């Protein structure tokens, strides 16, 4: 909201204001475009050296170069985890700028949703194993017409939060179901859960809840806003569901007849 420091006396002033607003609109679009370009540039620049760090620590952890004593393998484990976390943050930044930019059109293809979910879980195996978490899958074979890459990022963000906020040894329930003409994915963990006052805020860009601010878990505050953008791009929705037990419950709904709507 802003007010212009001019008094409007006649049609000419109104016309002048109109021109000024047009100019501001163009400026805003340019600034947005520059911002997205910068975000993408930074993310790309960070990716390459990080890949070397990740691959190097993997080589060390796999003892390809030589055997490690317990202290060394603990340090290498921390390096590996940090590299994975950093990579996730960079990917978040990149996805965020892509989600906001105009070239975020869906690339529709046939996606085997159940397989995609298992793939996302496999990608996070290291973190799941480190925290000794149990994943309870209730999925069935389902082919969905959607954008595989974006769906993967969406589900990955939900799962990585569930993993991040779960207590050691906790269980994460992943349930896929079909409701009339939509597919529903529920993800429930046993972490601290979301306070009702944050149910909608968690989807705001850069919002980070209390646990985050206390420094217990690292993140960018972008994961859920990207998930929301991608759910909406699929004409779907994503919401926090009230959970009487402890733990967060996220529900993603995607229409099955997306191809007809786009």
Is residue 98 a contact point for ligand ADP (CB under 6 A)?
no
Is residue 43 a contact point for ligand ADP (CB under 6 A)?
no
Least Å from the CB of residue 250 to ligand ADP: 7
Least Å from the CB of residue 149 to ligand ADP: 18
Pick from 128, 151, 162, 252: which binds ligand ADP (CB under 6 A)? Answer: 162
Q: With respect to ligand ADP, which residue has the nearer C-beta, 73 or 81?
A: 81
Pick from 91, 121, 189, 229: which binds ligand ADP (CB under 6 A)? Answer: 189
Pick from 57, 124, 161, 190: which binds ligand ADP (CB under 6 A)? Answer: 161
Is residue 202 a contact point for ligand ADP (CB under 6 A)?
yes
What phi, psi does 136 have (nearest 5°)? -105, 105
Other beta carbons less than 10 A from residue 205's beta carbon: 15
Is residue 194 a contact point for ligand ADP (CB under 6 A)?
yes
Q: For ligand ADP, which stretch binds (CB under 6 A), given 24-32, 34-42, 187-195, 230-238?
A: 187-195
Q: For ligand ADP, which stretch binds (CB under 6 A), given 50-58, 106-114, 121-129, 192-200?
A: 192-200
Size of the site for ligand ADP (CB under 6 A): 23
Binding site for ligand ADP (CB under 6 A): 157, 161-162, 165, 189, 191-194, 202, 207-209, 211-212, 219-225, 248
């Amino acid at each position: 909201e802003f007010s212009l420091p001019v008094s409007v006396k006649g049609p000419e002033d109104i016309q002048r204001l109109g021109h000024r607003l047009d100019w501001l609109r163009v400026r805003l679009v340019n600034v947005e475009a520059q911002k997205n370009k910068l975000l993408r540039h930074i993310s790309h620049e960070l990716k390459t050296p990080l890949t070397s760090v990740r691959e190097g620590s993997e080589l060390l952890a796999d003892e390809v170069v030589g055997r490690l004593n317990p202290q060394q393998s603990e340090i290498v484990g921390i390096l590996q985890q940090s590299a994975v976390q950093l990579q996730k943050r960079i990917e978040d930044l990149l996805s965020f700028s892509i989600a906001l930019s105009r070239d975020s059109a869906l690339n529709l293809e046939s996606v085997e949703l159940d397989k995609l979910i298992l793939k996302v879980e496999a990608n996070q195996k290291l973190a799941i194993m480190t925290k000794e978490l149990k994943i309870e899958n209730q999925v069935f074979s389902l082919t969905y017409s959607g954008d595989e890459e974006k769906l993967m990022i969406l589900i990955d963000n939900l799962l990585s939060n569930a993993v991040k906020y779960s207590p050691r040894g906790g269980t994460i329930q992943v349930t896929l179901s079909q409701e009339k003409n939509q597919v529903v994915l529920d993800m429930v963990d046993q972490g601290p859960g979301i306070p009702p006052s944050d149910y909608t805020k968690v989807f705001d860009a850069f919002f980070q809840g209390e646990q985050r601010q206390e420094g217990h878990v690292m993140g960018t505050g972008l994961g859920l806003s990207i998930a929301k953008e991608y759910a909406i791009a699929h004409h779907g929705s994503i919401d926090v569901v009230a959970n009487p037990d402890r733990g967060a419950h996220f529900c993603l709904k995607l229409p099955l007849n997306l191809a007809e709507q786009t």
